[in-house]
Amino acid sequence: MTLTTMTDLHDLHDFIRRLPKAELHLHIEGSLEPEMMFELARRNGVALPYASVDAVRAAYDFTDLQSFLDLYYAGAAVLQTEQDFFDLTMAYVRRAMADNVRHAELFFDPQTHTVRGVPMATVFAGIAGALRQARADHGFSSRMILCFLRHLPEADAFATLDAALPLRTEYADLWIGVGLDSGEVGNPPEKFAGVFARARELGFHVVAHAGEEGPPAYVHGALDVLKVERIDHGVRSEEDPALMQRLAQSRMPLTVCPLSNLKLRVVKDLRDHNLARLLRAGLCVTVNSDDPAYFGGYMNANFVATADALALSSKEVVDLARNSFLAAFVTEDERRRWLDELQAFSA
């Protein structure tokens, strides 16, 4: 590498770090760092199957989505009290703010907690308490998206929605949408047609994981049956040219998570990732961290690694950040403010 290109790279990394951006695909349970896992296990008297923080990190050698989910659900067992959810969320917000994330939309999986006897109200209160404090203290903007676990029956998703609805008024400033996550293959969007119809009638925004490990047909299903407003991941859409055209023409946002795709072996090497091709084909692509504590990096780490691996230009990096604000579930005033900030930054 020549000195000039090294300087250029350094400049681009610095540019990425300072770039205002939004994160739209972040599972708050996936931001549980091993250090906090140990701390909460101690606080709550939970036994962990690991001897040390290093042993936890060493176990994060995933072969596919399910091999990750097994550890992710086990790790979440240390989350028990409102304070636990507050601490987890505040730790994420600090990392996000350090990466110049202006706005974050947090996925949370209530079923992972209610099945262990943690009340729905505890989960909401802890997460929302931290998000409200971050807004009051730092102007950090956020929303919450309740995700249904797709490996469980649709009836369980209905029960989860019903259990959460009494809290809707209290958390109207934050809880604005529902999503669909967990093991994709064998659990197509159509399985959740009824509960998504109900969520839409109630006025919630709707999103779904599709085309992460599942085929393009699942992306079609999420669009046609669930009528989602964003596709989470969606990288396998590239296998279907008609779907690519549809996504480009509609500017349907894709919340792509490059380091997640690498760690879960959706791609073998980041240089094989199709993010740049999707962007250059006119799709509304965004960069996100998914489960940063498990996949080795928060927002800026995802941006930097992707920009390096795919030789993204500074204009493309700005396009990715602009897409994140365009795709966010916020008021037009908020969107305008961040787009103006981005414009001033990149001028």
For the chain, what's the residue count? 347
Name the binder of 319 from Zn ion, ligand ADE, none, CB < 5-8 A by kind.
none
Question: Based on CB atoms, which residue is closest to ligand ADE, 20 or 30?
Answer: 30
Neighbours of 70 (CB within 10 A): 11
What whole-number distance in Å separates Cα of residue 24 and Cα of residue 234?
14
Name the binder of 65 from ligand ADE, Zn ion, none, CB < 5-8 A by kind.
ligand ADE
Residues binding ligand ADE (CB under 6 A)? 27, 30, 65, 72, 181-182, 209, 212, 260, 290-291
Residues binding Zn ion (CB under 5 A)? 290
144 contacts: CB under 8 Å, gap ≥ 6 = 105, 106, 108, 124, 127, 128, 131, 171, 174, 175, 176, 177
CB of 302 to ligand ADE, least distance (A): 13
Q: Which pair of structure tokens corresponds to residue 339? A: 């787009």
Question: Based on CB atoms, which residue is closest to Zn ion, 180 or 318?
Answer: 180
Question: Based on CB atoms, which residue is closest to Zn ion, 124 or 294?
Answer: 294
What whole-number distance in Å separates Cα of residue 113 and Cα of residue 195?
20
What whole-number distance in Å separates Cα of residue 236 and Cα of residue 22?
23
Question: Based on CB atoms, which residue is closest to ligand ADE, 30 or 177?
Answer: 30
CB of 307 to ligand ADE, least distance (A): 21
CB of 112 to ligand ADE, least distance (A): 9
Instruction: Give strand pairing partners of 256.
Output: 287
SS3 state at 59 = helix
Name the binder of 111 from Zn ion, ligand ADE, none, CB < 5-8 A by kind.
none
CB of 82 to Zn ion, least distance (A): 24
Strand ranges (DSSP E) for 182-272?
205-210, 230-233, 253-256
Shortest-Cβ-distance residue relative to ligand ADE? 181
What b-and-e string marks burial along 193-203, b requiring 16 or more CB atoms within 10 Å of the CB?
bebbebbbeee
Catalytic residue among 184, 212, 213, 316: 212
- For residue 212, indicate whether it is catalytic: yes
Name the binder of 273 from Zn ion, ligand ADE, none, CB < 5-8 A by kind.
none
Which residues are annotated as catalytic?
Answer: 212
